Amino acid sequence: MSEELRVIPLRGIPELEERDDLGALVVEAAPGFEDDDVLVVAQKAVSKVEGRVIDLGDVEPSERARELAGDSDSRRLEVILREAREVIRSRPPLVIAETRHGFVCASAGVDASNAKGPDTLVLLPVDPDASATRLRERIRDLTGKHVGVIVSDSFGRAWRRGTTDVALGVAGVVAVLDLDGRRDAAGYELHATQIAVADELAGAAQLVMGKLDGIPAAIVRGARVRGDGRGSDLVMPRKRDLFR
């Protein structure tokens, strides 16, 4: 993991619609792929092509959604509650929830669609690892290259301000690098050293993706992170979690 990295934004991907061939659009936007490139794609792009979009006009809020909404749109809170396995914290209209995948994040990952207007929300993919795997296979079919894929999203953190992008779905890449028992340059044996490599890759890609520029994907080149991690590897098991 100590070569130079390049992080390359993929420009010119159009506003996405359901059933668009995201893999083909990514390949068209990329300056070629190399084996072991890591493609990072924003969750919102994946969700849009997978039809994970909901029109608030079709939503009837429950009583609990009205309570949690405060002065905000209770239909949005209803959508969040439907996506949530458990509400972890709330301070209307803010809700931190565990999604059905096990991710703990604001609004159970439910986000404004932006381009489609204020009455359209975008949900997380049903199975982000499967989404990443499909993209990986599509790129291999189109280019013959074996790339890793990360489906990323911007998550807030406990105790720290601002979001960082993290990996929800992973294919062909290490998720958590476990150095337990390996020795460092000075011969010292490392303990309890597990690095969330896929989250760091997602964060690195975010630096060139940018929310203002409409760049939904980037390539990280030069990371030696081939592996078979899953997004679920990055979720702290509930019984080991000191913050639940």
Question: According to CB under 8 A, which residues from 184 to 213 bind its own copies?
Answer: 184-186, 188, 190, 193-197, 199-201, 203-204, 206-213
- Using CB under 8 A as the binding rule, whether residue 180 contacts its own copies is answered as no
CB of 234 to its own copies, least distance (A): 5
- Token pair for residue 162? 């601002």
Query: Crossing angle for the helix pair 22-29 and 128-143, nearest 10 degrees?
Result: 50
3-state secondary structure of 155: strand
Token match 């990371």: residue?
223
Question: Going by DSSP bridges, is the β-strand pair 177-178/194-195 parallel, antiparallel, or unpaired?
Answer: antiparallel
Q: Which stretch binds its own copies (CB under 8 A): 55-63, 90-98, 131-139, 143-151?
A: 90-98
CB of 38 to its own copies, least distance (A): 10
3-state secondary structure of 110: coil
Site string for its own copies, 20-59 (x = CB under 8 A): ----------------------------------------
- Using CB under 8 A as the binding rule, whether residue 147 contacts its own copies is answered as no
What does the alpha-carbon distance between residue 15 and residue 41 come to, in Å, rounded to a whole number? 14
3-state secondary structure of 234: helix
Q: Which is nearer to its own copies, 143 or 206 (CB)?
A: 206
3-state secondary structure of 172: coil
Amino acid identity, position 76: R
Report DSSP state, residue 31. Answer: S
Q: Which of 58, 91, 181, 239 binds its own copies (CB under 8 A)?
A: 91
Q: Which of 63, 71, 160, 239 binds its own copies (CB under 8 A)?
A: 160
Q: Which of 12, 60, 71, 159 binds its own copies (CB under 8 A)?
A: 159
